[in-house]
Structures are given as structure tokens and as C-alpha cells.
Structure 1
Amino acid sequence: MIRRTTEQWLALFDQHKASGLTQTEFAKQQGIDPAYFSYRKRQLLAWQQEDDTGFVELTTQGVILNQSIMLKKRDVELHLPPGTDALWLAALLRTL
């Protein structure tokens, strides 16, 4: 089995859409199990839609947040208290 990056999978989904073939026909033509193709499509497109919900950019340095913040991704929630340093939060988000 060929290991593909997310970008490669998304490109395959675009190629399938432009091909005019059924998903099964396209997957077989590419040497991919149709069930796995379908699984990756559902998985990656769902993930992509969740990520399109927005992002707040923190650009000011040295700011102390004066309100509590809740970060939520799928079923995980992170509650940050007032007084959380914005630089620390930015570093945390970069590592995620």
C-alpha cells in the first residue's frame, strides 16, 4: 500500500471529481481499495470542514488575556483562566 500525505489524498479526491468515474471505478483505476478510498474521503473531508470553522490570530505581544477562553476540537475542550499569557497560548497553538 502506498502511503499518501493529506495533500495527496485531497488531490486524488479532486481528480476523482473531475474524472466523471464512479468512486469505485476511480479507486480501482488508482489501485486503491474502494472501501479505503471512501473511508479516507469521509475522514479527511470531515476533518477539513471542522478546521474551516475559524482561527483567531494572536499578533500583539505581551498581552495578558482578561477573559477565560475555551478551545474546542471535536470532543476535547481546554479551558484557560483569565490572566493566561497570550504568548504562551500562541506557543501552545503552534505545537498543536
Structure 2
Amino acid sequence: MRRTSEQWLALFDQCKASGLTQTEFAKQQSIDPSYFSLRKRQLLAWQQDDNDGFVELTPHGMVFCQPMLLKKRDIELHLPACTDAVWLATLLRAMS
């Protein structure tokens, strides 16, 4: 069964409220306990990363005049000086 991120997050909340161990809860839901643990680590890590450091840009002809480094977990994107803000906003929108 495929679940959305929201469904997984709801399951993690249900697990916490159930009073069961994570293994017991996963088995009760017919989910492999190791997969349940993996998804929990993945989604909570991504959720944490999403709260770290992104700001909203309003790119109206702006050009960033200093080099930039964008980081997301183990991925780094080095952008040169004079990167066009509209291009950057388009890239970030395409990646989301």
C-alpha cells in the first residue's frame, strides 16, 4: 500500500498516542517494523530540513552579486556570482 507523506506522519502520531512500542504498532498496521522505522527517520529528517534556512524570494530583475551555496541534506549546489534571481526561483520551483 502506497501512503502519502501526510499519511505516514499521521501514522507516526497514532503510534505515539497508542502506547505501543513502534514494533508492536507497525505489526498491528501490517507494516514491516524496519520499514516503518526507515520512513519515520526519512520523513522527520526532511521535515526538519525544510524548517532550516529557506527564505521567500521576490525576484523582480534582481541579480545576486555574490556566489551562493544552497544545501539540502547531502546535496550542495554552488551558484556563481551574478546568478539571476528569476532563473533561481524557476529552478527551485521545478525542484519542489
What is the TM-score with the length of structure 1 in the denominator? 0.90
Q: Distance in 2 between matches of 1:95 and 1:88?
A: 11
**Number of the residue aligned with 1:54:** 53
Q: Distance in 1 between matches of 2:79 and 2:92?
A: 13
Listed as ranges, the matches of 1:12-23 within 5 Å are: 12-23=11-22
SS in 1 for 2:23: helix
1:76 aligns with 2:75: yes
Q: Distance in 2 between matches of 1:13 and 1:50?
A: 18
Aligned residues: 95
Q: Distance in 2 between matches of 1:89 and 1:60?
A: 9
Aligned-residue RMSD, C-alpha:
1.2
Unaligned residue ranges in structure 1 (runs of 5+): none
Listed as ranges, the matches of 1:1-96 within 5 Å are: 2-96=1-95
What is the TM-score with the length of structure 2 in the denominator? 0.90
Unaligned residue ranges in structure 2 (runs of 5+): none
CA shift, 1:14, in A, is: 0.7
Q: Distance in 2 between matches of 1:85 and 1:50?
A: 25
Larger relative strand fraction: 2
